[in-house]
Homo-oligomer: A and B are copies of this chain.
């Protein structure tokens, strides 16, 4: 069979990695795809000193690649929104298949992109967009296709996981670790995307869509970052047998779909609780398979390139076939418009940390507020004031309750004379 001709747009870390994987593993890849996969053109403004591109046609105009009649698959690795969107749409207009690692693009403009791709009979693949080298898109779209997916939960931002791991293992503060992560290149100069959960929300939006066959609804994803997690919370969580992870969680409930990214206590006995450092992990629960867990590197040149090239190989296999031979963009042929629940309607368990004046009756007042609202307490720790301090801490784990009820309880606890400052609330997922 004739070779598949690939055009790479963007030759930074991921673009360079993709070029190098296609080159280094060319023989293995051809043995698997049943045909050669060759880089026919690279569009980039800057060369990449890690890549030997001497025999490859280069252009500084990425749109030239998107329109190149000789090219079968355009690989978008420039990142960002607007230019990437225009590039992908142009490539599709010109009848190219597209492979991208751009989760923001898919989460926010996926519907429009997929619609055009379907009209043109081509596919847009995005395995590299979620959890780097872990083939989680493939697992959800194909490997678990027999299941009704009940829920999924993932550590899908390596920077956040690195920070929480360091805080726990070394007792360090959030800001201190964040600075190191920036120096190591794990975190961007503006860390908002990572630590405030926006990046994870992009990925979770995609995972939920392909898990349940619902539209991409990034705007409805609840997002809460990890910057307020303190060393106290990390230690109390541990004392209670939990770890704090920045989790993306999506459940299919009778009321609608949960879609939320927030710091989360998870039981330390779960294998996912031991996924530390920059690693990513996704747990999926299906009605036939039960729980499955996928762990690996969520970022970096090699892992991301592994996913990009796997998508190219999948396309290579079905290049001459009818579009029906390829998996639907959002896994399902028919997308159902299921409602994403507002966070107030979500039901989960909670960890509460309450600073109180050290006097009698305080715990009783708190317990009364909870019990009046039907909130059951699962565990409780009361800490005496530390040497030289005057405030005691009450730490509670509750059973499952709907968020708006908990909001009312927290407001009432904060209104108590004995309560000092804000109540810390971290959601708890048992993942069982």
Contact = CB atoms under 8 A, between A and B. Distances in A.
B317 A288 contact: no
A296 B292 contact: yes
- Binding site of A, secondary structure by majority: helix, strand, loop or mixed? mixed
A8 to B, nearest CB: 14
A302 B325 CA distance: 27
Nearest to A28: B148
Q: Give the interface size bracket for A toward B.
A: 35 or more
B313 A146 contact: yes
Contacts of A21: 146-147, 288
B147 A139 contact: no
Contacts of A24: 287
Interface string A308-341: 1110111001101110111110011110000000
Interface stretch (A29-37, A344-352, A410-418, A423-431): A29-37
Interface string A266-295: 000101001100000100001111111111
A360 interface: no
A295 B271 contact: yes
A55 interface: no
Contact of A139 (B143, B302, B317, B334): B143
A144 interface: yes
A392 interface: no
Nearest to A140: B135
Contacts of A152: none
A246 B334 CA distance: 44
Q: How many copies does the complex hold?
A: 2
A144 B317 contact: no
A146 B288 contact: no
Closest 5 CB pairs of A and B: A135-B143, A146-B309, A292-B296, A133-B289, A289-B306
A29, A144, A287, A312: most-surrounded residue (chain B CB, <10 A): A144
B324 A146 contact: no
18 contacts: A1-B324, A17-B288, A32-B328, A32-B333, A34-B333, A133-B288, A135-B138, A138-B138, A139-B143, A142-B142, A142-B313, A144-B310, A146-B308, A287-B302, A289-B307, A291-B297, A293-B295, A325-B325
B292 A134 contact: yes
Given A146-B25, A314-B142, A309 B288 contact: yes
Nearest to A212: B28
A322 to B, nearest CB: 6
Contacts of A148: 25, 28
A30 B148 CA distance: 12
